[in-house]
Amino acid sequence: MKAVVLKEIGVIEVQDVPEPEPEGDQIKIKIAYAGICGSDPKMIAGLNKPAYREGAIGGPAKTTPPRPGVRIMGHEASGIIVKLGKDVKGNFKVGQHVAMDFRSTCGGCYYCSNKKAHFCERVSNFSGMMAEYAVFPQGIVFPLPEDLPLDAGAFLEPASVAVHVLDRAQIKIGDSVIITGGGPIGLLILQLALKGGASKVLVSEPVAEKRKLAEQLGAVAVDPTKEDLLAIANKLTGGRGFNVCIEATGIPAIARQLILLAEGCGTVVWVGTYPSGVDAPVPLDYMYSKEISIHSVRLAPYSFPRAVEMLPRLDLKPLITVYPLRDALQAFEAHKQGKAVKVLLQP
């Protein structure tokens, strides 16, 4: 079968690889669409390194190091079940449309036993979705609604992250929200925030095509490189600041800026993946005077079933750009250019 393989650090190519077969509780899936995530170029470049600070509690965060020549790329996808392992016991059947998580937790460690499975001490990570076929344990395979297009189904993993962001942000009816970054996560958060009761949402995004999409989806969109974000925020919120500020660019300076755009008792949520070892200094006297809460987001614990329920209610078609799997290099280049919101590979 054809697959996008990490040939060496910095290099991917479409190769012929052995077609996998399911064992035990595994399910074999014919991939319909596989998404390019913002973390994929970092993985290719070998930049996905464990986060660790000297003097901090605990060891480095667990990551899966690149395995050049072996690793098949991709952790966001939808597909169709073609074969079940002999020990599959869930409500699965051949021909069923599904989407997948990429992490299988142990269920028995300290974190799994304390409702923190995204910190599982014995997690198994699965890539391999940028291929014609892939196999996954039944516990991380999620049936999709029958009438949901499979290209929309490929948004399940990023949509689950957006659901977790809403959990952390605790948006209430009538809240004002600012989102920095109009990429896939930012635009998914925008839609969920409006459906969750936000009265107004401002999206800050320098790329014109993404601003246009944000406006189509119900936001006020601004170009932070040409417009005074603070002045616009003051006008939209009557000078009070936003109830909820969500950072989805991965730029440390913007992460800090959002603290200054929050109202008293406001909530800031950092969603982006930030460069290792880079700080965003927090003004402690300001934090004291404003009583602001800062949250971070890591993965999407317990969010996939709810994301499945929300996918049919989201407007996803305008976000999608499709390339055939054989044109993976062009697809990654389109992702790099930044104008396409979500690039999907179609085997």
DSSP helix, strand, coil percent of the chain (3-state; round to 5)? 30, 25, 45
What CATH number is given to the structural domain containing 35?
3.90.180.10
Q: Of 27, 32, 30, 35, which is closest to residue 141 (Cα–Cα)?
A: 27
Question: Does residue 160 fall inside a structural domain?
Answer: no
Do residues 8 and 110 both lie within one domain?
Answer: yes
DSSP, collapsed to helix, strand or coil, labels residue 264 as strand
Do residues 194 and 120 both lie within one domain?
Answer: no
pLDDT for the residue numbered 126? 86
pLDDT for the residue numbered 63? 54
Do residues 87 and 212 both lie within one domain?
Answer: no
Do residues 289 and 336 both lie within one domain?
Answer: no
Both tokens of residue 98? Answer: 């599904």
Do residues 91 and 232 both lie within one domain?
Answer: no
What CATH number is given to the structural domain containing 289?
3.40.50.720
Domain of 136? Answer: 2-155+316-346
Question: Does residue 222 fall inside a structural domain?
Answer: yes
Per-residue pLDDT of the chain (347 residues; tens, 9 = 90+): 999 999 999 999 999 999 999 999 999 999 999 999 999 998 898 876 555 556 666 655 555 555 666 689 999 999 999 999 999 998 999 999 999 999 999 999 999 999 999 999 999 988 799 999 999 999 999 999 999 999 999 999 999 999 999 999 999 999 999 999 999 999 999 999 999 999 999 999 999 999 999 999 999 999 999 999 999 999 999 999 999 999 999 999 999 999 999 999 999 999 988 888 889 899 999 999 999 999 999 999 999 999 999 999 999 999 999 999 999 999 999 999 998 999 999 99
Q: How many domains does the chain have?
A: 2
Do residues 75 and 208 both lie within one domain?
Answer: no
Do residues 132 and 10 both lie within one domain?
Answer: yes
Do residues 113 and 13 both lie within one domain?
Answer: yes
Question: Does residue 129 fall inside a structural domain?
Answer: yes
Do residues 90 and 7 both lie within one domain?
Answer: yes
Do residues 145 and 181 both lie within one domain?
Answer: no
Do residues 130 and 180 both lie within one domain?
Answer: no
Give the list of residues 6+ apart from residue 165 with CB closer than 8 angstroms, or none: 185, 189, 192, 246, 269, 271, 297
pLDDT for the residue numbered 272? 87
pLDDT for the residue numbered 46? 82
